[in-house]
Amino acid sequence: MLASELSGTPYNKTAHRNALKPLLANRSDQSVEFKHANISAALLDAGFPYINGYKPRFNYQLMLAEVINERLATAQDLKAIAAADADRPIAVPEVDDILSILTRPPKGRDGVPSAREPTQPPFRPQTNYIEREARNRSLGLAGELFVLNFERARLIQAGHEVLASRIQHTSRVQGDRAGYDVLSFETTGAERLIEVKTTKYGSDTPFFVTRNEVVTSEREASRYHLYRLFAFREVPRLYTLSGAIPANCSMSAATFLATPR
């Protein structure tokens, strides 16, 4: 099912579940769905996206991780599909009512969204496809342009056309050194600093942040907002986190800066 979803091939979850049940001592639909949710969590820990609709449940058993490790080790076709999907260029989606895409943040394994990469033993993936997608410049730019449209619509709806006209695409002018991507405004005229993180995958997909973004979010906590776009493939959704990133997210180191002693 994951390969079908990533390649855009139609599939039927209900038919798949019904085919599995005789092999699982005819367990209930709920039991099979719960196991798929465990698989979603294990896939994330292995650096793969999960199937849309199966919200990750991280209390999975070690045996499940071992089985998934074995399957992924030889799943060359799935790896190729995941790599192609992570690298695929994307256009800015068109949405009829852009302000309606706003939703609440998900609750991660620690009760807060996950920032950075959450890989834990026994997974040691050669390629982290979540990280690979995060490096997709086309996707990143499309997300930033989408947020520019969202912010203009938000301010215009509130009757602040002048403020909407002053919104800036900061990352296009200053690059990454600013620590945020978009300069927007509150309806009071106060500045709103927005860092945009975009994924084609589900809301529980962890995102990567740089040291500069973390430091900027802490220094500018009163006006810093992280905008997480997800399901960006067709019908984007958005949740926001206001304030310092470490105060809102479970942080896990993905890389370390090292110098000789």
* Measured CA distances, 111 to 58, 65, 98, 202, 250 (Å): 12, 22, 28, 17, 8
Determine the residue type at 101.
I
Walk along the chain (261 residues) and give the pLDDT tens digit of each residue. Answer: 999 999 999 989 889 888 888 888 878 888 888 889 999 999 998 999 999 889 998 888 888 988 998 899 899 999 999 999 999 999 999 999 999 999 999 986 655 555 544 445 566 677 899 999 999 999 999 999 999 999 999 999 999 999 999 999 999 999 889 999 999 999 999 999 999 999 999 999 999 999 999 999 999 999 999 999 999 998 999 999 999 999 999 888 777 778 788
The three-class DSSP label of residue 114 is: strand
Give the whole-angstrom CA distance, residue 15 versus residue 257: 48
What is the SS3 assignment for 229? strand
Helix, strand, or coil (residue 146): helix
- Write the single-letter amino acid at 217: S
Give the SS3 label for residue 77. helix
pLDDT, tens digit, 9 for 90 and up, residues 21-31: 888 887 888 88
Q: Measure Cα distances from 6 to 77, 79, 200 in Å.
A: 12, 11, 10
- Phi-psi region for residue 209, left (φ > 0), alpha (ψ -120 to 50) or beta? beta
Identify the CATH number of the domain defined by range 131-251.
3.40.1350
Question: Cα–Cα distance between 200 and 114 in angstroms, integer?
Answer: 16
How many Å is the maximal CA-CA distance in the chain?
A: 64
Side chain identity, residue 138: S
In sequence order, which residues have a C-beta less than 8 Å from that of residue 192 and are 6 or more positions away?
Answer: 151, 183, 184, 185, 186, 223, 225
Sequence-separated contacts (24+) of 62-67 with Cβ below 8 Å: 62/122, 64/38, 64/39, 65/122, 65/123, 66/122
pLDDT tens per residue across span 134-161: 999 999 999 999 999 999 999 999 999 9
User: What is the rounded distance in angstroms from the CA atom of residue 29 to the CA atom of residue 17?
Assistant: 7
Hey, what amino acid is at 114? S
Q: How far is CA 80 from CA 32, 76, 143, in A?
A: 27, 6, 24
